[in-house]
Structure 1
């Protein structure tokens, strides 16, 4: 089936949002508006892919140029996101047929999915099924994940800003604990995101530029937790530096794979629900060593902190959205733009591409040579990789001491289908 000269586009945000996912949306919408000869309107899914399934579409053409530009400085998902994993085509073909039905009803010929590995898998499957159903849709993924665990791309938009937040936070908390350690808290534990990959935890290591700097210990998912070795390390740090600051990834686990914080349930994606590892580690220190402790969970704060976003991250997020449109109008399908690090002395990068089939459901873990021999910190190789990703400041506009973020109108597109689909 030959493509019509001009069709609409559908954009959706998926999974956990970031400080810069809206920058990708900004790049995509602004670029799409420059290609009016090939792309009509850009519709966004309200609450991610659920918006497509329920035919709950947002007409971004109703938003002003200024409002769309403001997305570049606004955290979280401007159109709503969701944790909803489509099953395989074999398990639930009806979901995919519904997507095609909605796309066809609204003359959508381009599908842009902004998310992680599961999202790339969905985009890939839609590209395949649409061909067999006689309504070909150009599907392009846009990388996004704070976990930095997508393969092929050098790094993932969203990660650099989280990395910056974590490094700054553990440095500042380290100063606080050091000043009170003589008579108060001697051990501080900060929990960060990262179920299977320890990239975010590793970023905390950037704060330790000199011996004795926080963090003294990092617990990675890639390194099996050994309680005896850990407690000895904590005790040595307290005796040598007066205190011990620890960054722990939520996915820290024992040798048998059991998470330290296994809550015994699963989330919408079938992943183990983690109950908070920081208090587990802190209590372990208290019970075995007797040291007074404090713990903190960065939680949503780390991924929503647009006020301290990395300039590199913002630029790359915008570039991925822009590149996605350029790929699509050039006729590329079932691909994802990637960040390619150039082999230059001064950090620089360019845009590459990967097949969705090669990205879908593949996790990129921390290389062993990025982690110190004892398993408790990062190496210089890791530091060289991470450092450029947190560089530069990209402050949002401020008024009366507070950042000014954009809230879109998000006007709904009139529904055309008689049948309803409830997820």
Structure 2
């Protein structure tokens, strides 16, 4: 049996970060150490894939075992992430050739890309191009997205914790508003992430265990906004319960597809830039019904809230990082570890796999049977799916009343190439 050549590995974090993406990094780095005969060093990309393009690599071997372990309870992207979408091979082959050039210079044979659908597409293309250029690289995608919109996998690491955060937040805000509604705010609007998929908004519905509990109304991207029906329900809730708590996804839109919060601009990925839907909804209520309102945008808080992360989510995030390395060691390529929900009465899950070709650029929306008939709340089927994902607590260590998170040294790797690459 031929001896496998020992090569270095490259790991990068991509897109919006989460409360648990570093747990996946921890899974990759700790598992890679178990395969010293096949994996040399693990380099990380500073600011995601940009680190590879600009040959700005981080030597993770300079970090202590204690600090690597602390990644499991530290939010955000420890090595830096980015919103940088590589173009297609036809549009800009030079970008992919540059990646191969950097990987070859640093003897990198394994590429672990931690991100969403666009990242899976990049990993797939690198795998394909590296073969054609005669320098094959094993590419494994690692799922991550708070939006829970990756296909095939039962859920996406990062989602369970943001789901827990929004459910807790709307429950607590609901108590606040209810206590003051007689003489103050009668309508509260909370905006959550979710451009095309309403998974995060749906998770807020877990807080409504009994009639009258917040949230009373949920606005999903999957359901066209019906202004008349919405205002009628707001009015009914205020008259029946004394107040109305609303959760709205940033991607809520009218029947013609126009976002309620369309700002008229686009982001780095070409997506519509949304200008904040909560104030739009709140002002509509004020204008049409006259109720005093308050609104809030969960924004980065929802995806950075490691102090209230779901234990299930942390465990799954670590597991997909671990599985990515194990897949590579088994000779697998162009695949992504998935979460597979087992058909048992008590929630159980295991690791599966999916070809990157079936994951890349595919968006999973909220199923119709997860949305109530009036289009403004969740069903029992949705509740059954969501509940296990937010269960359990995995608290970080606290000191002086504050969570203690790790900041890595992130020491650079010496450059080997004479050429540079400009990021557009």
Q: State the secondary structure of the residue aligned to 1:152.
A: coil
- Give the structure-2-normalised TM-score: 0.99
Match of 1:101 in 2: 101
Aligned partners of 2:39 and 2:275: how far apart in 1? Answer: 45
Aligned partners of 1:33 and 1:47: how far apart in 2? Answer: 23
| 1:89-118 deviation per Cα after TM superposition (whole angstroms, max 9, x unaligned) | 000000000000000000000000000000
Instruction: Tell me if 1:116 matches 2:116.
Output: yes
Aligned partners of 1:158 and 1:83: how far apart in 2? Answer: 17
Alignment of structure 1 residues 346-365 onto 2, 5 Å: 346-365=346-365
Instruction: Tell me if 1:34 matches 2:34.
Output: yes
Q: CA deviation at 1:3?
A: 9.0
Match of 1:273 in 2: 273
Q: State the secondary structure of the residue aligned to 2:388.
A: helix
Cα-Cα RMSD? 0.7
Q: State the secondary structure of the residue aligned to 2:387.
A: helix
Aligned partners of 1:3 and 1:46: how far apart in 2? Answer: 32
Aligned partners of 1:145 and 1:292: how far apart in 2? Answer: 35
Match of 1:81 in 2: 81
Match of 1:184 in 2: 184
Aligned partners of 2:336 and 2:31: how far apart in 1? Answer: 16
Match of 1:44 in 2: 44
Q: State the secondary structure of the residue aligned to 2:35.
A: coil
Match of 2:219 in 1: 219
Aligned partners of 1:360 and 1:30: how far apart in 2? Answer: 27
Q: CA deviation at 1:14?
A: 0.1
Aligned partners of 2:27 and 2:138: how far apart in 1? Answer: 18
Alignment of structure 1 residues 266-305 onto 2, 5 Å: 266-305=266-305
Structure 1 spans left out of the alignment, 5+ residues:
none
Aligned partners of 2:65 and 2:257: how far apart in 1? Answer: 49
Match of 1:421 in 2: 421
Aligned partners of 1:312 and 1:373: how far apart in 2? Answer: 30
Aligned partners of 2:399 and 2:328: how far apart in 1? Answer: 38
Match of 1:242 in 2: 242
Q: CA deviation at 1:4?
A: 5.4
Number of residue pairs matched by the alignment: 422
Match of 2:125 in 1: 125
Q: CA deviation at 1:422?
A: 1.5
Match of 1:165 in 2: 165
Match of 1:58 in 2: 58
Aligned partners of 1:217 and 1:116: how far apart in 2? Answer: 29
| 1:36-95 deviation per Cα after TM superposition (whole angstroms, max 9, x unaligned) | 011000000000000000000000000000000000000000000000000000000000
Aligned partners of 1:36 and 1:190: how far apart in 2? Answer: 48
Match of 1:393 in 2: 393
Match of 2:336 in 1: 336
Instruction: Tell me if 1:145 matches 2:156.
Output: no
Aligned partners of 2:44 and 2:344: how far apart in 1? Answer: 38
Q: CA deviation at 1:387?
A: 0.1
Match of 1:324 in 2: 324
Q: State the secondary structure of the residue aligned to 2:354.
A: strand
Q: CA deviation at 1:369?
A: 0.2
Q: CA deviation at 1:5?
A: 1.3
Runs of 4+ in 1 over 2 A off after TM superposition: none
Match of 1:366 in 2: 366
Match of 2:378 in 1: 378
Q: CA deviation at 1:412?
A: 0.1
Structure 2 spans left out of the alignment, 5+ residues:
none
Q: State the secondary structure of the residue aligned to 1:34.
A: helix
Alignment of structure 1 residues 192-203 onto 2, 5 Å: 192-203=192-203
| 1:182-240 deviation per Cα after TM superposition (whole angstroms, max 9, x unaligned) | 00000000000000000000000000000000000000000000100100000000000
